[in-house]
Amino acid sequence: MITVEHLTKSYGSTLAVDDLSFTIEDGHIYGFLGPNGAGKSTTLNILTGCLAASEGTVKIGDFDIFENSKEAKKLIGYLPEIPPLYVDQTPREYLDFVAEAKRVSKKERPAEIERVAKKTNIIHVLDKPIKYLSKGYRQRVGISQALLGNPQIIILDEPTVGLDPMQILEIRELIHNLGENHTVILSSHILSEVQAICDKVLIIYKGKLVAFDTPENLGKITSSGSAIEIGADVSLDETKEILSGLEGITSYENVECSDKHNLFKIHVETKDITDISKEIFKAFANKDVPLYKLNPVKTNLEDIFMELTSDSEGDNIITMEEKEIDSSITA
């Protein structure tokens, strides 16, 4: 368990972390979501004892990260944003070096390196210099060093940045598997990524915690006040006519029109985008007009942050109870 209370960090006049308080329970995968500059890396660097805070406390289990840093750090494996890899070394040499620093005994080290290498699937490249490895494999080596000593908590700072789509899927699967035996915290600036991997999400914006919720509930925020794309072989006027009985549609937009195929975007104010999507489907079906597209449009992350921060009136943490939204779609 991690307990953070009133954590604050300033770099000169820049307030990078602004009075953060939250608790991380054991046995979940937590996502730390926020745009660039939100304060994610600063927070994670403080949580892992790599950086001093200006104010506030961090407890890892029973240990204060500043006062009992040796004991606290033992409970954490950390992959920083820029992993400190020595590219001339092989993964085996590098992992041996890190294991020694983590005080794994010389006798136990070979078996421990094999254990983490199996978990991250790098056994076959253990003796190949890191400089010849792909970015995806380098990241696996970075995750391997975090796993050495089998710490209870694994913290990964933007672990998929710079990877190609295939490598991203592989690293996500690896993180998912780590969640079976560890508490995992990962940071990301990509909403869909934390929604795909995490079961709890903390949203951080301008150094403040603006939401702490499940990805499902987060999806509800993102789908209220959003848009739906509709593709049908009818005109915009006919579409308006077909949907005239529906509540919640605020405006219509032409996206693409050809002789036959038309694509419109309708903006909706609704608590449940699934419900209105069903209504739209039914309305078209009743008129015997087939749809070739009916697609909720993703709200982008900046929009969500804007909405969350404006609703939070400064520094409240939003929970869905307060927002009273009861839809269930993930945008």
> Which residues sit at the interface with ligand ADP, rule CB under 6 A?
11, 14, 16, 34, 36-42
The burial of 114, by beta-carbon neighbours within 10 Å (0-12 exposed, 13-18 middle, 19 or more buried), is given as middle
Contact with Mg ion (CB under 5 A) among 22, 29, 33, 41: 41
CA–CA gap between residue 146 and residue 70 (Å, rounded): 16
Other CB atoms within a 10 A radius of the CB of residue 101 amount to 11
302 three-state secondary structure: helix
Decide: is 48 part of the binding site for Mg ion (CB under 5 A): no
Stretch that binds Mg ion, among 35-43, 59-67, 115-123, 257-265 (CB under 5 A): 35-43
> Smallest distance from the beta carbon of 189 to Mg ion, in angstroms?
8
Stretch that binds Mg ion, among 41-49, 54-62, 146-154, 247-255 (CB under 5 A): 41-49
Closest CA to 320 of 306, 308, 305, 302: 308
CA–CA gap between residue 63 and residue 16 (Å, rounded): 24
- Closer residue to ligand ADP in complex, CB, 40/73: 40
Contact 221, 211 (CB under 8 A): yes
Select from ligand ADP, Mg ion, none the partner in contact with residue 95, using the beta carbon and a kind-dependent cut-off of 5 to 8 Å: none
List of residues 6+ apart from 184 with CB closer than 8 A: 28, 29, 30, 153, 154, 155, 156, 175, 178
**Contact string (CB under 5 A) for Mg ion, positions 259-278, x = contact:** --------------------
Phi and psi for 292 in degrees, rounded to 5? -100, -5
Select from ligand ADP, Mg ion, none the partner in contact with residue 14, using the beta carbon and a kind-dependent cut-off of 5 to 8 Å: ligand ADP
Select from Mg ion, ligand ADP, none the partner in contact with residue 34, using the beta carbon and a kind-dependent cut-off of 5 to 8 Å: ligand ADP
> Smallest distance from the beta carbon of 201 to Mg ion, in angstroms?
16
> Smallest distance from the beta carbon of 158 to Mg ion, in angstroms?
6
Phi and psi for 190 in degrees, rounded to 5? -115, 115
Closest CA to 95 of 159, 142, 150: 142
- Closer residue to Mg ion in complex, CB, 158/272: 158
- Closer residue to Mg ion in complex, CB, 34/77: 34
Q: DSSP letters of 161-230?
A: TT--HHHHHHHHHHHHHHTTTSEEEEEES-HHHHHHH-SEEEEEETTEEEEEE-HHHHHHHHHTT-EEEE
> Smallest distance from the beta carbon of 326 to Mg ion, in angstroms?
34
- Closer residue to ligand ADP in complex, CB, 17/280: 17
DSSP state of 244: T
317 three-state secondary structure: coil
> Smallest distance from the beta carbon of 44 to ligand ADP, in angstroms?
8
Closest CA to 39 of 189, 191, 190: 189
Select from ligand ADP, Mg ion, none the partner in contact with residue 16, using the beta carbon and a kind-dependent cut-off of 5 to 8 Å: ligand ADP
Number of residues that bind Mg ion (CB under 5 A): 3
Run of H or E residues at 4: strand 2-11
- Closer residue to ligand ADP in complex, CB, 39/219: 39
Select from Mg ion, ligand ADP, none the partner in contact with residue 38, using the beta carbon and a kind-dependent cut-off of 5 to 8 Å: ligand ADP
- Closer residue to ligand ADP in complex, CB, 40/92: 40
Closest CA to 276 of 229, 215, 238, 324: 229
Select from ligand ADP, Mg ion, none the partner in contact with residue 39, using the beta carbon and a kind-dependent cut-off of 5 to 8 Å: ligand ADP
Select from ligand ADP, Mg ion, none the partner in contact with residue 142, using the beta carbon and a kind-dependent cut-off of 5 to 8 Å: none
Stretch that binds Mg ion, among 13-21, 77-85, 100-108, 118-126 (CB under 5 A): 77-85
> Smallest distance from the beta carbon of 207 to ligand ADP, in angstroms?
7
